[in-house]
Amino acid sequence: MLRIHYLGGGCREAHLLAGGRFFVELKAQAPQGLEALRKRLSELGASLVGVYHQVDTYFPVPQGRLKIREVDGEKVYLIYYEREDIPTPKRNKAYLLEVDGEMKDALTKILKPTVVVDKRREVYHIDNLRIHLDSVRGLGDFVEFELPVSGDPESVKEGKHKLREYMRLLGIEENQLISVSYSDLLLTRGPKARGR
């Protein structure tokens, strides 16, 4: 059974329109750990939306990325997204469907999973921006910014500027930015990093 939702405020799990939604996003390593980022987010007035355990199972597709996300062992989502692999703010189009557990079983039988990403995610919200503090098994700590935009060039440009500003406010340096997904990072590190 599929249930389609509209993306509201809180976090990525909340809801996405079947036709997709555009985001501007940015991801960076957090070699100093997450505590300093938590403190700075508190100083900026960000609110903690929630803390989640997410397990993402990726499947091979000709373009973009397809995954099943399990959240806290309770909710299951089918997510497909397309984005550029560049280390600067980028536009991302995503589709998300809430599904039952049988969908993961079916996809696993039909398609061979390529990698599993296991992470603890803290979701913060400030100024219409979602900030994720992620601890990823086999990779370490990261910060991710996601800002919903309408998709037109002007809103994307404004969104990129806003992400750059929050990057500066949180002390994120250019050399900390990463261009690829956690799944890509795990795939380049080999089987030990990919193990659950």
Domain encompassing residue 45: 3-194
CATH code, 187: 2.40.320.10
Quote the CA–CA distance of 166 and 188 in Å, as a whole number.
29
Query: What local confidence, expressed as pLDDT, does residue 177 receive?
Result: 93
- 42-79 b/e with 16+ CB inside 10 Å = b? eeeebeebeebebbbbbbeeeeebbbbbbbeeeebbbb
Low-confidence stretches of the chain (pLDDT < 50) are 1-18, 192-196
Query: What local confidence, expressed as pLDDT, does residue 183 receive?
Result: 94
- The DSSP symbol for 46 reads P
Query: What local confidence, expressed as pLDDT, does residue 143 receive?
Result: 97
Query: What local confidence, expressed as pLDDT, does residue 152 receive?
Result: 82
Query: What local confidence, expressed as pLDDT, does residue 122 receive?
Result: 98
The pTM (predicted TM-score) of the whole model is 0.81
Q: How many distinct structural domains can be found in the chain?
A: 1
Query: What local confidence, expressed as pLDDT, does residue 121 receive?
Result: 98
Query: What local confidence, expressed as pLDDT, does residue 23 receive?
Result: 83
Query: What local confidence, expressed as pLDDT, does residue 103 receive?
Result: 85
Q: Which two tokens stand for residue 16?
A: 């996405």
133-148 pLDDT tens trace:
999 999 999 999 999 8
Strand, helix or coil for residue 36: helix
Query: What local confidence, expressed as pLDDT, does residue 72 receive?
Result: 94
